Structure 1
Amino acid sequence: MNGLSIWLKVVVLVLGAVSYASHAEDIDIFAGDADVDAGLPNIIFVLDNTANWSRQSQKWPGGNTQGQSEVRAIKLALQDQIGKLNVGFMMFTTQGSANEDGGYVRFNLQALTEDAYGQFSQVLDTVFDGINDSIEKRNSNTAFGNLMADYYNYLAGSNQTYNGSGTPGSLADSEGYTTDYSLFKSPLSTLDVCTNTYLIFIGNPSSSGPTDDSSSNSDRLRALYADAGATAPDALAGGAGSPLPLPGFTTTTTVEPGTPLGPSGSCWKNSEQAQCSIEENAPGGKCEAFEDCACVAVSTNTSGCITTGKPDNRTARFDVEVGGSTSTTVTPTGIDDTTTGRSFNLDDWSKFLFNYGIPVTVEQDDTTVTQHVSVVTYTIDVFNKQQNAAHSGLLFSAAQVGGGRYFQARNEDQLVDAIGGAVSDILSVSTTFAAVTLPLSTTNRTQQDNQVFIGMFRPAPGEKPRWFGNLKTYQIGLFDGVPELADVNLKRAINPLTGFATECAVSFWTEDSGNFWESLGVAPPPRGQCLPSPGTSDWSDLPDGPFVEKGGAAQMVRQAASRGLYTVADGVLAELNAAALGSQTLFDYLVGIAPGINAAGTFEAMPEEGRRPSIHGDVVHSRPLTISYGGDNGVTVFYGSNDGVYRAIDASNGAEKWGLVAPEHFTQFERLYDNHPMIQYTGFVGDDGPDYERKDYFFDGSTGQLVLYNEDSEVELAYIYPTMRRGGRMIYALDVTDPAAAPTFLWSKGCPNLDNDTGCDTGYAGIGQTWSTPVGGYVGGYLAGDNKPQPIIMFGGGYDDCLYEDTADYACDANAKGRGVYIVDGATGQLLRHFQTDGPVVGEVAAVDVPRPIQDGLFEYAYVADARGSLWRIDFTTLSGAYPFAMTTLAPEEWTITKVAETGNRTRRFLNQPAVGVFRERVFVAIGSGDRERPLESNYPYSEDVQNRIYAFIDRPAAPVPDGGISPVDLDGDTMIAVSAPSPDEELPEANPLLGTDGWYMDLPGTGEQIVNQAAIGGGRVFFNTYQPGGVNTGICTRPLGIAKGYGLSLFNPELTEGVEIDGGGMPIPPVIATVRLPNQSPVDCEGDACPPPAPGPVITICIGCEGFKPVEIEPEAAPTRKRIYWTEEVDG
């Protein structure tokens, strides 16, 4: 989960006093905030008004100069934003000496009302009209540093860099000054502490690149760092050391000759060449349709001209020509430039503004305190024919370290798009998401198709139980040589401010739906803010952007003419009907043809066509499962949502193939229909009583699978195993071998009731909530009559109520549910073995197919962890001797379980699947401790400061068993290496630093920091994510959802690290490692049929979830090669 909607901050979280219930869960982070007035975002445009804004060599199209297009674009981009933001405008000073290169306020920051927009438009028109006047522009070789310094000075209310010298008094806005024009008046107030402030820098490259900043500008920035109690982390202009790296580029120069258009229409004297050009550029002239067109030389064509007499009276025609040009283009090299940046400070200023911000004095609890307003920087690189590599690199760096985005614009339309895109980002609403999945390729089982399926949800305002949810699809694209999440049009999909979709992102399957959302009364109103307008209504599903309820599978279900919904009755699949639910009203509500109760207690509005807008519920914990069927059968996606339906979706078009409703959930639909009782969140007085209950869940767990392919890479057998997580204690088994048909019900096992053991299947009275996703496969010792391996599935016993106890000490006893591992015949459901463990097994089993030296598709071992902190190995074979080992398969009655390791500290919980990597005779088992169901500062991981750890345990399953049996390794003991920061004088580690050890562990550095999902191993590294409450807390603003971090440590040479903070915060998604083939092209500015089909491109291995939705490319370390363990159809952490 990541992000928090603005409405949730200001509408849902209105109860003040705190009480601490024991029944906490991860969704409680959405109720951990206070009610504040967030205000409007502040946007200050900073325009580079050097003479570069009118360079002829740029061949700027459209008839205006670059600068004129820039101010027109600002005006156009803001015309529909009245009442949505505060706006200001700054430029370079233009008077005084050439060295007085500071900035001045042209339009004081203020709310963009109708009047203010009119006034700002007049300012922009003045700039437009005087674009070449000396009072409007500076010389072309002006450095950017002092302009950025005066941006800071303006917001801070400090002196202008040159005490006002150089400021054009007739143009400056006196409202921006305390003393004209030496002392700025800060436009920031107490309310701005809770408001984001943004800088949109519009830059025009010089032919020689950026000008070096002065040492005095560097001194000013160093002083600000010192005032903040820090030192400048990077080398500044005039200094020594390592600067901020700039992206490296190669520059290509192309000379384009002029294009002759023939002789002029009239005859002219030699002295009248200029008049000839004027006439030919007038309507009807040869130059009418061209830019940079003129009369250039006397033509040999003199027809009709005076060719005799006095020379001064003779006339001739001129040759008319469209001027040639010299173009420069830059191409990313993928290698950082680590020296050039030392000359420039633009990006260093943006980094400081983002990280340290502007000090603002605030009265809080009768005390004056200083808070800091962070500034996010967006940059727009404006050029046409002559891009400059250093200029582009500097602007890219400024946006990157400033928390914003970098745009390029080659014409006025692209300028409007860029400014609109930046404003859309700023105005966007952050949302929440669950997990991602990529389907395996049907032609190459080591690759995934380039499809990223993302389950989403949005908590409802007013603590109502009916939440919006969706499943959306994106892809991976290359941007400046870097893989990023892209939308259907191969445009960047993620807003760096929120970590979620941009306003203009379009997920696959999404279609234009006109004004569908305009009159439905959905709160908050899902009105799009994509700029420029995509040509569809703001209330359309297209583009769906960051709105959970728009587009995707939810739109396809709404628009479906019919639905195939099923349930289980008398042991077989049956069509769902009103009788099963006990009410025609509930049945009509579930299928979407009738409304439910809305938040106001009346019926929710229904659209003129289609099904109710809330038909698709939240996907909170269910990780989508994909099966690639091969041939012409495509990919099907399976997942559960908390509207009560477990779905199969056609990945080609988003259409719902069928849905399953479990009988165990029938009684929960009335609450969804009534939208009442409200959800009881932990942390607020009043949330206990008849009007509040814990949130209901349905098929909220992830889905296991067992898929067998034939020689043609087509599915021969496909079984899936949905789980319920908090929704119940059952596991279902469905045969989905035929993708075109409804599934066949195979079996279900477990207990039908959450709170008692009535009706439990034989052998399952000890099962808990089914959190552990079944793992399917084959073992050598479980055979059919024809000696072919029979399918099995394995899953942990699940979650027990004893784990609800909010105490650091492990509170479960021998009566706890979920203590053990179930191994079941995958086809019949026959219980083959149940192995007891010390504590509940909440996470998945990790199965191992040992390479000897290749894999045979059979499991030899499996690893599992329990909540008490124990790590277990299940043996399906015995290995002996040296690698590649002698192997003996075991029959089910001979299978064994052994505790191989444990942590003696009972405050550390293992609730996740171990990540396993096999390296010859060693098996690396990586697992982290934590409790994601305790996310608040009041919960024990934070309040009692539990020291959680990541462990990488080395098991040697082929080693001889000592007399007396195997003693579990103490994961916190002397045979485990404690990872620490290397000393500067420390020698490089030996080639095999783990020789003779049982592995290593690392303490998580943050207070209450915990690992909240499974790790992943790839490229010789282990990747994992953590969560801790809090973050930057101003004390008067909304508390964030918590700090999410991503870590990546070498398995073989780990070093202490602080991790990378993930954009948006909140509960992170698990890391997903996938190998995909990318389109061999950069995203293009096109839509629909105008877009060329993507060509095959490079194959890369990436991790999604290692740093949120920012894909991280995985490069193998120089270490033993990791062998594939066992391919399952879904690829997840």
Structure 2
Amino acid sequence: MTLSNNDNGSNDRDPPHVECRDDVINGNPSNGPGVADGYARGNGVPNNAVFSAATPGESEVKWGNTSYTFYTAHYMDYRHDDSLVSRTRMEIAQEVVTGIILANPGIDFGLVEFNGNWSGTNHHGGRVIHRIIADMTEEQRSNVIDMVNSLTSAGSTPLCESSYEAYRYLSGQTLVYGHRMDGNRNPKGDYLPRDTLAESPLGTYTSPATDCAVTYVILMTDGEPQNDTHANNAIESLTGKTCGIYPAANQPNTKNCLPELAGYMATEDLDNDTTNGRQLAITYTVGFATDQDLLRDTAAAGKGEYYTANSADELTAAFQGAILSILGQESTLTSPAVAVDTFTRTQSRNEVFYAMFEPGESVDWPGNIKKLRLDIVDGEAVLVDKKDNAALDPETGFITVGASTFWSDADGPDVMKGGVGGLLAARDPATRLIYSNTGADGALETFNSTNMNREAFGLDTDEELFALFGPDIESQTDLDRELASGRGFAIDDDGTVSADARNWILGDILHSQPLVLSYGARTGFTAEDPDLRIIVGTNAGFLHMFGDVDGQEDWAFFPKELAPVLNQRRLDAISLEHVYGIDTSPVAYVQDLNNDGTIVTGDGDKVWLYFGLRRGGDAMYALDISDPDNPAFMWKIDPARSGFAELGLTWSAPVVTRIPGYRDAGGKPKPVLVFGAGYDLTKDLTGVATPDGVGRGLFIVDAETGELVWSVTPAANSLKNLQETGLQHAVPGNVTVLDSNGDTLADRMYFGDAGGNVWRVDLPGNALPDASQDDWQINKLAQLNGGTEATDRRFFNAPDVVRIRFNGKPVDAVLIGSGDRTNPNATDVDNRFYMLRDERTAPYDSSAPDASDCADMDPVTDFRCFMPVLDEDLYDITANLLSTGTDEEKAVAVEALQAANGWRIDLQHEGEKSLAKSLTLNGKVYIASFTPNTGLNPEDVCEPLAGLGRLYVVDLFSGNRNVIQLGPIIPDTPSVHFGEDDQIRLLLPPGTPAGDPDGDGDNDCIGGVCSTDEFFRPPYGTYWFQEEY
């Protein structure tokens, strides 16, 4: 209440009791119950439990000549309740648009504001107050937000006129309304000025549209058009159409050309220049507290969508819906997966599994796995569907449109039809078994809100937990919604969880090649029809196991560390940055103690599963899946674990092996994992490779516990680490492991790094090294990055190591190709494929000689004296003179090859690169390459020509080669299939047309299957003869 003193000290002129809104608005102090109206007593002392006096004269408070305002606690609570604050539509719109800009960092925003356009003035249309800037910085994005929050709502609503000015900006024409036509060519009052940087010195707009670009216009209004006819004649002249009649604010129905303009912008080249393709603009409309045929017709003609909204939440949904609509094609990056017959141990089974994905401009890409069968009849192999029809088109290599893959009906090549994904989408999400590592020490628990709590994440408050899942997760209800969506439930428009499943649940399978495991003749299965399980990771963050019998999901595992992925995939924002989850291929250790082909846990059999995350993160996980229906958590490795500070993004798939000196309590060699230390995102930057901060080296860990056994990194020597300061670049590729002497222990390892080096690691002896690290060693075998932009070669693949004979003695051929896997469309590097001849086929057991030691050798007997091998130390066989040259040229070439330390082939097409490990069969090296296509389609310059995959078949000794055109794909290493007819065949990814791998004129590669004309050699007996004396 407000109190002031009159001349006689009385307070009776003032409101005695302000306790609610009506006291202030209506001046009614007598509407509140409970406490009688009155005046404050002094000193806070009640009279008969009442703090107020009945009359002014009874009040003991003397206020003097100053006025005061007092409010009860009840009123103050009301006054400061944000939920009750009335906001204008402009304030709501400003908040919503600000949120949309912040939520879509991959989109470049510009801003057009209406001019005043008062009746009787020439202030028509609108103006560009912030131009579209390509690849906006945070500061530029913040400037747009500041402008949005500075907008006012005064003036008319010139929807069509403002859109006409936007059209002129996008098409690079002169300003019509952009300067407001007010004499001074500047806005009046509080209006924001036009962005003069959107204009050229000649007074025309500088169009933001690039070649073949599509720009999107989102037009939002809270009312009908008003004073909006000035552009009609110009638009009718431009489009050649007569405009329609629509309601207008405070005016009779009026002609409005907005739909005709939107239709023109969506279909006609904005700059009318055929040499740079067609620039188009798509128009979306949002009616806030208004529903208009004009906006509906405009969106339809403009090839966009129309949204209505009546609240802040609805407006947010409308804007985000437009963004999502603005932002498909099917593809695969992995070769098909096959299973080994665990009963014969020498044959592949005929089930073939293809992983697929469909990219889009938003982040929630769908994925799938489809099953075919390889039929072999009279030496001819063909992939068939469940109806025994050929499943792949022999010319294109893609699944035929009418094919019915196993588990499906007439699904064809569509990613979002059939396969395991179709079965999962048709299933009740409540029936799924989903686990996460939320229990003690990572124990698996059901994926739900009870277990996804702050304690599981080691957090102190629920608010921290909510923030971990996403910036818009603010309550337990929000978190429940995220987990329900992750399980597969649809989310209704109002944010509530539906009882129905989402349209598609299975995430994209980008780099994770499915792993097919045979559990053999378990109960209900036979040797002929064993229990096969398919395991794969997706970028939705889940690892799935599917049963081969019916294609149904057995269970899924969601690492809790990927919590933010759930929110990102559900929001499905348009972004140039994809969201990654589990994006590497799983690997298994299988122990079948009695070698009967069947995994029985009661017999002591084991199956342990391992996987990393690739771009999804810097952790590696292990699960015990010995019982395929009851997985158990084993361990997790990340940089926080002792010994793993060097671990980068876990790109390198582990290799299961055994090493010298590492045994269990019974003296039996223990299984270990070997993997590269990972990838560093600094390598995403363009330019010549610079040293990385993580991922530099190799780790060997206990396969059962995840404990570090040994590593080689730049860190200081210790009991478990060998220091190699020359390791300056990340190791994203797999490691090649060799057993030199046949004792089942790996004693040599090879790997490449992202700086163009190839390394050799030697593990001699029968014991682990001590802290001196004097026993095991690492040497740089080759250094093949020339340090310039053109020679900035990088290795992302494991070397292929093959034993050959050279000058009558055994040597190892180390084969590896260069290419930046993270930037397949780059064209600035001259990539090559290499064969490095390593003449030491046993592990080194002595220190490397220094330069003086090498100088004293005659002849040189230690091959380390030739290390590192440089590009110029290798014979260039690109010209193929060993096979196609004259006799004199052949003789010279043979001599040069013998003097060199190997050979190299230029990948000759612009931007061509090797992005997969090579494969060698009987002296033939199969090399997959990808060449981006930087040209334009002569029939439509805006239709990009796809790149081209190739498969080279190169003679390991002569360099003679043939090539198969693989089609518009980035090819993986072909899968090897050992057939029941003893033939060795290669299975290629979908999209591979017919080809001739050996140059004999016959297409030996048809429908995704390549005949190599190689046969699996039958086993020979080993006999022991002993004479007694």
Pairwise same-fold verdict (TM > 0.5) = yes
Residue among 521, 526, 529 paired with 1:631: 521
Instruction: State the partner residue of 1:910.
Output: 795
Amino acid at match of 1:827: E
Comparing 1042-1051 with 721-730, greater Cα deviation is found at 1042-1051
**Which structure 2 segments of 5+ residues have no match?**
1-106, 111-130, 139-208, 215-270, 278-327, 453-468, 470-475, 523-529, 600-604, 714-726, 851-861, 993-1006, 1021-1029
Q: Give the conservation status (yes or no) of the 8 Å contact 1:904–1:970.
A: no
* d(CA) in 1 for partners of 2:108, 2:802: 44
Q: Give the conservation status (yes or no) of the 8 Å contact 1:724–1:769.
A: yes
CA deviation after TM superposition for structure 1 residue 488, in Å? 2.4
CA deviation after TM superposition for structure 1 residue 1066, in Å? 3.3
Residue among 305, 323, 348 paired with 1:448: 348
Amino acid at match of 1:449: R
Instruction: State the partner residue of 1:707.
Output: 590
Q: Are 1:674 and 2:603 counterparts?
A: no
1:452-474 CA-to-partner distances (Å, cap 9, x unmatched) read 222111123xx222211111112
* d(CA) in 2 for partners of 1:842, 1:1044: 22
Amino acid at match of 1:802: T
Instruction: State the partner residue of 2:1025.
Output: none
CA deviation after TM superposition for structure 1 residue 709, in Å? 2.3
Seen in structure 2, the aligned counterparts of structure 1 residues 32 and 661 have a Cα distance that, compared at 3 Å, is farther
* d(CA) in 1 for partners of 2:490, 2:890: 67
CA deviation after TM superposition for structure 1 residue 478, in Å? 5.0
Q: Are 1:750 and 2:638 counterparts?
A: yes
| Helix, strand or coil at the partner of 2:508 | coil
Amino acid at match of 1:956: E
Greater CA radius of gyration, 1 or 2? 2
Q: Give the conservation status (yes or no) of the 8 Å contact 2:611–2:622.
A: yes
1:852-904 CA-to-partner distances (Å, cap 9, x unmatched) read 5xx453323221111111111222336xxxxxxxxx67658643222222214
Instruction: State the partner residue of 1:152.
Output: none
| Helix, strand or coil at the partner of 1:473 | strand
Residue among 1016, 1037, 1040 paired with 2:945: 1040
Seen in structure 2, the aligned counterparts of structure 1 residues 986 and 665 have a Cα distance that, compared at 3 Å, is same
CA deviation after TM superposition for structure 1 residue 482, in Å? 4.4
Instruction: State the partner residue of 2:506.
Output: 616
* d(CA) in 2 for partners of 1:733, 1:22: 40
CA deviation after TM superposition for structure 1 residue 475, in Å? 2.3
Q: Are 1:924 and 2:810 counterparts?
A: no
CA deviation after TM superposition for structure 1 residue 997, in Å? 4.2
Instruction: State the partner residue of 1:860.
Output: 747
* d(CA) in 1 for partners of 2:210, 2:671: 45
1:680-714 CA-to-partner distances (Å, cap 9, x unmatched) read 2xxxxxxxxxxxxx221111112122222232123
Instruction: State the partner residue of 1:838.
Output: 728
Seen in structure 2, the aligned counterparts of structure 1 residues 1071 and 773 have a Cα distance that, compared at 3 Å, is same
* d(CA) in 1 for partners of 2:764, 2:964: 40
1:961-1000 CA-to-partner distances (Å, cap 9, x unmatched) read 7733724242412354534223453489799986564221
Instruction: State the partner residue of 1:697.
Output: 580
Residue among 1049, 1056, 1060 paired with 2:964: 1060
Amino acid at match of 1:589: S
* d(CA) in 2 for partners of 1:638, 1:465: 23
Q: Are 1:724 and 2:613 counterparts?
A: yes
Residue among 548, 554, 559 paired with 1:651: 548
| Helix, strand or coil at the partner of 2:491 | coil
Instruction: State the partner residue of 2:886.
Output: 985
Instruction: State the partner residue of 1:557.
Output: 424
* d(CA) in 2 for partners of 1:791, 1:876: 15
CA deviation after TM superposition for structure 1 residue 500, in Å? 2.1
1:15-35 CA-to-partner distances (Å, cap 9, x unmatched) read 999957999xxxxxxx99947
* d(CA) in 2 for partners of 1:953, 1:1004: 17
Instruction: State the partner residue of 2:757.
Output: 870
Seen in structure 2, the aligned counterparts of structure 1 residues 951 and 1070 have a Cα distance that, compared at 3 Å, is same
Residue among 406, 428, 431 paired with 2:330: 431
Instruction: State the partner residue of 1:420.
Output: none
Seen in structure 2, the aligned counterparts of structure 1 residues 629 and 33 have a Cα distance that, compared at 3 Å, is farther
Q: Give the conservation status (yes or no) of the 8 Å contact 2:677–2:696.
A: yes
Comparing 820-829 with 485-494, greater Cα deviation is found at 485-494
CA deviation after TM superposition for structure 1 residue 1074, in Å? 2.4
Q: Give the conservation status (yes or no) of the 8 Å contact 2:803–2:811.
A: yes
* d(CA) in 2 for partners of 1:1121, 1:984: 38
| Helix, strand or coil at the partner of 2:729 | coil
Seen in structure 2, the aligned counterparts of structure 1 residues 587 and 1107 have a Cα distance that, compared at 3 Å, is closer
Q: Give the conservation status (yes or no) of the 8 Å contact 1:726–1:771.
A: yes
Seen in structure 2, the aligned counterparts of structure 1 residues 764 and 889 have a Cα distance that, compared at 3 Å, is closer
Amino acid at match of 1:783: R
* d(CA) in 1 for partners of 2:583, 2:611: 9
CA deviation after TM superposition for structure 1 residue 928, in Å? 0.4
CA deviation after TM superposition for structure 1 residue 825, in Å? 0.7
* d(CA) in 2 for partners of 1:364, 1:482: 55
| Helix, strand or coil at the partner of 1:449 | strand
* d(CA) in 2 for partners of 1:591, 1:749: 26
CA deviation after TM superposition for structure 1 residue 1122, in Å? 14
Seen in structure 2, the aligned counterparts of structure 1 residues 833 and 17 have a Cα distance that, compared at 3 Å, is farther
CA deviation after TM superposition for structure 1 residue 630, in Å? 2.0
Seen in structure 2, the aligned counterparts of structure 1 residues 491 and 19 have a Cα distance that, compared at 3 Å, is farther
Seen in structure 2, the aligned counterparts of structure 1 residues 735 and 596 have a Cα distance that, compared at 3 Å, is farther
Instruction: State the partner residue of 1:899.
Output: 780
Which structure's relative contact order is higher, taking Cα pairs within 8 Å and 6+ residues apart?
1
Instruction: State the partner residue of 1:374.
Output: none
Q: Are 1:974 and 2:873 counterparts?
A: yes
1:1040-1076 CA-to-partner distances (Å, cap 9, x unmatched) read 231221111111221265x32212x132233222213
| Helix, strand or coil at the partner of 1:950 | strand
1:563-608 CA-to-partner distances (Å, cap 9, x unmatched) read 11011123111111124175221222122233377xxxx88998xx
Q: Are 1:594 and 2:490 counterparts?
A: yes
* d(CA) in 1 for partners of 2:343, 2:582: 31
Q: Give the conservation status (yes or no) of the 8 Å contact 2:955–2:961.
A: no
Instruction: State the partner residue of 1:414.
Output: none
Q: Give the conservation status (yes or no) of the 8 Å contact 1:13–1:32.
A: no
Residue among 920, 928, 936 paired with 1:1017: 920
Amino acid at match of 2:674: M
* d(CA) in 2 for partners of 1:912, 1:1047: 17
Amino acid at match of 2:607: A
Amino acid at match of 1:458: E
Seen in structure 2, the aligned counterparts of structure 1 residues 905 and 32 have a Cα distance that, compared at 3 Å, is farther
Q: Give the conservation status (yes or no) of the 8 Å contact 1:568–1:662.
A: yes
Seen in structure 2, the aligned counterparts of structure 1 residues 471 and 367 have a Cα distance that, compared at 3 Å, is closer
**Overall identity of the aligned pairs, in %:** 28
Q: Give the conservation status (yes or no) of the 8 Å contact 1:846–1:864.
A: yes
CA deviation after TM superposition for structure 1 residue 480, in Å? 9.3
Instruction: State the partner residue of 1:91.
Output: none
Q: Give the conservation status (yes or no) of the 8 Å contact 1:645–1:699.
A: yes
Amino acid at match of 2:351: Q
* d(CA) in 1 for partners of 2:961, 2:108: 38
Alignment TM-score, normalising by the size of structure 1: 0.50
Q: Give the conservation status (yes or no) of the 8 Å contact 2:398–2:990.
A: no
1:908-954 CA-to-partner distances (Å, cap 9, x unmatched) read 00111112223473222211000122133xx4xx1x3x110011112
| Helix, strand or coil at the partner of 1:450 | strand
| Helix, strand or coil at the partner of 2:486 | helix
Seen in structure 2, the aligned counterparts of structure 1 residues 1110 and 589 have a Cα distance that, compared at 3 Å, is same
Instruction: State the partner residue of 1:298.
Output: none
| Helix, strand or coil at the partner of 1:1002 | strand
1:186-239 CA-to-partner distances (Å, cap 9, x unmatched) read xxxxxxxxxxxxxxxxxxxxxxxxxxxxxxxxxxxxxxxxxxxxxxxxxxxxxx
Instruction: State the partner residue of 2:996.
Output: none
| Helix, strand or coil at the partner of 1:431 | coil
* d(CA) in 2 for partners of 1:578, 1:744: 20
Residue among 652, 656, 677 paired with 1:772: 652
| Helix, strand or coil at the partner of 1:816 | coil
